[in-house]
């Protein structure tokens, strides 16, 4: 898709990756609305975008739909949705608190699905794009991250079916980056992360996101041999 002039909603724009993606899309010529949970950080990003911020909790699926409606109204339509909301949670599978597990699935799988469903009603008949952050964990089950990984795997699976069902209507980008430098692990709902490698510069994910949207790619994944993100 041509990002210049595209109307884009970025959810999770209060986060490190979402904020950088929103600003990069604006820089590329898109009209961008920022949606996030933290009103102050969402507002700061929105100021740079020149649009009104939208504040919502992704656990509330009705609020997800209302946020998409409000963005489409503000932008006069919607060409693309970027979902960068997410939260981590750590601990052995047998010991994870049930409420934490529910919230991980709500934030990392069910909320993003609700956002995409609502956005799909506004995308043009052809040429629209949905880009969603899942994670490398979707392909790489990891001890101490059973629920976070399972929620991301559920999301990634769902995105694959979404892509197949809508291949003539819009493109679906599933971004599955490795551990990043954003500090997400320090904001986990529960537990401490296992020893992690140095985080990849999130700017590389933002560059790959924009490339994938422009090229109509299906995924952004970590190529372990090349030690780089692959857009394909
Ligand atoms: N960092 C990594 O290592 C890594 C690796 C692979 C994939 N990812 C994925 O990349 C995406 C961006 O994460 P990040 O690294 O930029 O972390 P981040 O800075 O913590 O951003 C997370 C975003 O999710 C939002 N969020 C969390 N719970 C929410 C809720 N209940 N309702 C609404 N928004 C909620 C946060 O909103 P508030 O700040 O307003 O609360 C924030 O905007 C996530 O999907 C994450 O899973 C990250």
Q: From atom 9 of ligand 1, which residue's Cα is the shortest distance away?
A: 133
Q: Which of 12, 145, 181 to mutate to test the pocket of ligand 1 (most atoms within 8 A of CB)?
A: 12
pLDDT at 117: 98
Select from 132, 133, 129 the least CA-distant residue to 120.
129
Q: Is residue 226 part of a domain?
A: no
CA dist 131 → 68, 102, 142, 226 (Å): 14, 24, 24, 23
Q: Is residue 190 part of a domain?
A: yes
Q: How many structural domains are present in the chain?
A: 1
Q: What is the pLDDT of residues 86-99, one digit of tens each?
A: 999 999 999 999 99
Q: Is residue 230 part of a domain?
A: no
- The β-bridge partners of 229 are 222
Higher pLDDT, 197 or 51: 51
Query: Per residue, what are the HEC states of 164-182?
Result: HHCCCCEEEEEEECCCECC
Q: What share of the chain is helix, strand, coil (3-state, %, to 5)?
A: 45, 20, 40
Q: Is residue 228 part of a domain?
A: no
pLDDT of 107 above 90: yes
For residues 166-174, average pLDDT: 97
Measuring from each residue's beta carbon to the nearest atom of ligand 1, which residues come in under 6 Å? 12, 14-18, 36-38, 41, 57-59, 84-87, 107, 133, 135, 177, 179-180, 182, 184, 187, 199
For residues 180-194, average pLDDT: 96
Measured in Å, residue 179 CA sits from the centre of ligand 1 at: 12
Quote the domain boundaries for residue 180. Answer: 7-220
Distance between CA atoms of residues 54 and 141, nearest Å: 34
* pLDDT class of 209 with cuts at 50, 70, 90: very high
- The β-bridge partners of 145 are 91
Q: Is residue 2 part of a domain?
A: no
Handedness of CA 71, 42, 146, 59 (dihedral sign): negative
CATH no. for residue 140? 3.40.50.720
Distance between CA atoms of residues 124 and 78, nearest Å: 8
pLDDT at 207: 98
Q: Is residue 72 part of a domain?
A: yes
Q: Is residue 120 part of a domain?
A: yes
Choice among 134-138, 195-199, 215-219, 225-229 with the minimum mean pLDDT: 195-199
pLDDT of 176 above 90: yes
* pLDDT class of 68 with cuts at 50, 70, 90: very high
What average pLDDT does the structure give for the chain?
97
- Centre a 10 Å sphere on the Cβ of residue 30 and count the other Cβ atoms it contains: 25
Q: Which atom of ligand 1 is nearest to the CA of 133?
A: 45
Measured in Å, residue 125 CA sits from the centre of ligand 1 at: 30
Distance between CA atoms of residues 78 and 71, nearest Å: 8
Q: From atom 45 of ligand 1, which residue's Cα is the shortest distance away?
A: 86
Q: Is residue 225 part of a domain?
A: no
pLDDT of 197 above 90: no
The DSSP code for 138 is G
Measured in Å, residue 69 CA sits from the centre of ligand 1 at: 22
Measured in Å, residue 86 CA sits from the centre of ligand 1 at: 4
pLDDT at 161: 98
Distance between CA atoms of residues 113 and 101, nearest Å: 17
């Amino acid at each position: 898709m041509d990002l210049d002039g595209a109307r884009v909603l970025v959810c999770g724009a209060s986060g490190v990756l979402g904020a950088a993606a929103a600003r990069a899309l604006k820089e590329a010529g898109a009209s961008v609305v920022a949606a996030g949970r933290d009103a102050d950080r969402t507002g700061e990003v929105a100021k740079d975008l020149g649009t009104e911020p939208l504040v919502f909790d992704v656990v509330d699926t009705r609020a997800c739909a209302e946020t998409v409606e409000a963005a489409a109204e503000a932008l006069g339509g919607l060409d693309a949705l970027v979902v960068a909301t997410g939260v981590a949670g750590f601990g052995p599978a047998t010991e994870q608190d049930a409420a934490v597990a529910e919230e991980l699935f709500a934030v990392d799988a069910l909320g993003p699905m609700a956002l995409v469903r609502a956005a799909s009603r506004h995308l043009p008949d052809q040429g629209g794009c949905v880009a969603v952050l899942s994670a490398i964990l979707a392909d790489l089950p990891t001890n101490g991250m059973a629920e976070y990984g399972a929620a991301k795997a559920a999301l990634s699976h769902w995105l694959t079916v979404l892509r197949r069902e809508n291949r003539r209507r819009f493109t679906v980008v599933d971004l599955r980056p490795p551990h990043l430098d954003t500090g997400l692990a320090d904001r986990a709902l529960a537990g401490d992360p296992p020893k992690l490698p140095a985080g990849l510069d999130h700017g590389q994910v933002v560059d790959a996101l924009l490339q994938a949207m422009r090229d109509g790619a299906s995924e952004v994944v970590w190529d372990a041999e090349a030690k780089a993100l692959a857009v394909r």
